[in-house]
Structure 1
Amino acid sequence: MQQTEFAFVLPQGYVDPEGNIHREGVMRLATAYDEITPMRDPRVQRNPGYLVIILLSRVITQLGSLEQVNTKMIEGLFSGDLLYLQDFYQRINQNGHSRLRVACPHCEGEFEVETVPVGE
């Protein structure tokens, strides 16, 4: 069975209006619909950079104890967290997992390692 959801830990964390920090979350694999739909959004048409905000708000299914994730929350992330999530999105959607193929510099043997979320 293919894994479709992946846990992550934000480097800094989202700070909600009450001052609570939310770092642990879950991101699901994106569908074609997830990537196409935001292109019709007027915010993306005015500013193509907004695409990532909408896209992440669609694929992050959980963030800390928050009931839902929306674009306003993604807008409120620290820039380091936004970069982390963009990279995480790319890794799981291009590879289908959060593992990387690496080679040992000593023996040149190749193997896969599970990436450890930043902050853990």
Structure 2
Amino acid sequence: MVTEFPFRLPLGYIDAQGERHREGVMRLATAHDEIAPLKDPRVQANEAYLLIVLLSRVVTRLGELAAVTPKVVEGLYAGDLAYLQGLYRRVNASGSDRIRTQCPHCQQAFEIALESEEEDAGKSGATP
């Protein structure tokens, strides 16, 4: 069973030294990952902060950073935050970031990695 999923942020986190970090890994969430942040005072004060704490628990690597903390997640661009939220939903709903599909012409079955709306927009040249 796959429990970790590599990703590449559309924009990337810029650290205090100006280094950009785009490559990362997200692991599957546990029930504890979803429940524990509810006790966090920042989440109790602002429900929207739940996403920040939750992602800081399940993103296990981001570039060369020593740790992915809530402060790091707060520093992400909105597009990267939306990308990670979409990835979180996909992998935790199905246990995979891939789907099995079939070519409508030749009927050959294959798997593809799901992409976020942000990745799709970037490939087509569209802007949000």
Give the TM-score normalised by the residue count of structure 2. Answer: 0.83
Instruction: Flag structure 2 segments of 5+ consecutive residues without an equivalent.
Output: 124-128
Task: Specify the code of the residue in structure 1 equivalent to 2:76.
Answer: L
> Counterpart of 1:97 in structure 2: which amino acid?
S
Q: Distance in 2 between matches of 1:69 and 1:90?
A: 19
**Structure 1: which amino acid aligns with 2:81?**
L
Aligned twin of 1:34: 33
Q: Which runs of 5+ in 1 are unaligned?
A: none
Residue-pair matches, total: 119
The equivalent residue for 2:23 is 24
Instruction: Tell me what 1:68 maps to.
Output: 67
Give % identity. Answer: 56
> Structure 1 length normalisation: TM-score?
0.88
What's the counterpart of residue 51 of structure 1?
A: 50
1:61 maps to amino acid: T
Cα deviation, 1:71-117, whole Å, max 9, x if unaligned, reads: 00000000000000000001111110111244555578775322368
Aligned to 2:113: 114
For residues 37-59 of structure 1, what are the alpha-carbon distances to aligned partners after superposition, in whole Å with 9 as ceiling and x for unaligned?
00111111111110000000000
Q: Which has the higher contact order (CA 8 A, sep 6+)?
A: 1
Aligned alpha-carbon RMSD (Å): 2.2
Amino acid at match of 1:9: R
